[in-house]
Amino acid sequence: MAFPRLDVHLDVIRQNAAAVRRLCGQHGIEVTGVTKVFTGAPEIAQAFIDAGIRRLGDARLMNLQKLAALDAEKWLIRIPMPSEVADVVRYADVSLNSEWETIRLLDAQAAAQGKVHKIILMADLGDLREGFVDTDALLAVSRRMAKLPHVALYGVGTNLSCFSFVHPDAAKTAQLAALAAQLPMAGEPVVSGGNSASLHLMVQGGVAKGVNNFRLGESLLFGKERCCYTFLPDTRQNGFILHAQIVELKQKPSAPWGETGVDSYGNPPPIRENKGLRMRAILALGKQDCDVETMRPVDAGVEILGASSDHMVVDVTDSLTPYRVGDAVAFELGYFATMRAFTSVYVEKQYL
């Protein structure tokens, strides 16, 4: 059996995605399932679809290409690079945009491919990532778009809690809904009011009427909303279990000795409490493959002490399991640990 190995429990993901989709549906909000954390793996994206989600979004065209055969509307949720507009039109039905020149390029490429590409214009409501701060400028671009034959205005969106960590609130969602009402389009616009950080506001009844879409990834996979970091009803947190093999197991002092330097980022190392001799295991896994801050051992008697690029050190003294060299230690992963595990070519993926 290969190690390190990431076991993906598709039943957990289906359950979580269905629970969150139902919850959003009670508030009139449709879900775009974001696939970027698992690099667009079609097995997991299909679990979203099985749970009733009909829109998939990703920040990378390489991931959207993997999803081409799936029966869902595809969104590019990162502002397109001008150099990639041909593939944007080829692999995405919809893209999020904030630059007029890129929109013109998309129109030209859609004409060349005989398509009409849908565009959501992004409004910056305070997080200072993508989007128009000047709403008059956004509306002016929307009117200019109406003259282009191969792009179609699909709606308006915003992003919060990702860069400056500005929380969504009732006033910001009302501002977005009011902006959507001014768009020069006949049908109902998509009004994409944020990500998993918006779910707490939604549950509290604070999302303005007219907001009808969220772009969700973390909540679908882990059942967690990102504003207050609480778990949502009927969700589970054990969808991604990483197994790493022990390559060294020795009793060692718990505190280092000798003059210390700084880590790779120029920071001093943590001060280690001297607990005497402890049984320490080295795992064949490192920061290139996982994020130690967003993972926890399944065995409550195991403590993560830290990691370098390709070694993880854990304390197994208090475990009731008699570990040996060659045994595997299991970890339940959170968002960033999952992202690194999927990005790492050194981690075997197994879908269960």
Q: How far apart are CA 190 and CA 33, in angstroms?
A: 15
Q: How far apart are CA 256 and CA 166, in angstroms?
A: 40
Token pair, residue 171, equals 């006033």
Helix 135-145 / helix 170-181 crossing angle, nearest 10 deg: 30
Comparing CA positions, the residue from 216, 172, 210 lying closest to residue 191 is 210
User: Can you tell me whether residue 161 is helix, strand or coil?
Assistant: coil
* Strands 117-122, 151-157: pairing kind: parallel
Say if CB 216 and CB 34 are below 8 A apart: yes
User: Can you tell me whether residue 3 is helix, strand or coil?
Assistant: coil
The residues that are catalytic are: 36
> What residue type is assigned to position 174 of the chain?
A
Q: How far apart are CA 75 and CA 61, in angstroms?
A: 10
Share of the chain residues as helix, strand and coil, in percent rounded to the nearest 5: 30, 25, 45
Comparing CA positions, the residue from 34, 96, 97 lying closest to residue 67 is 34
Backbone angles phi, psi at 230, to 5 degrees: -105, 155
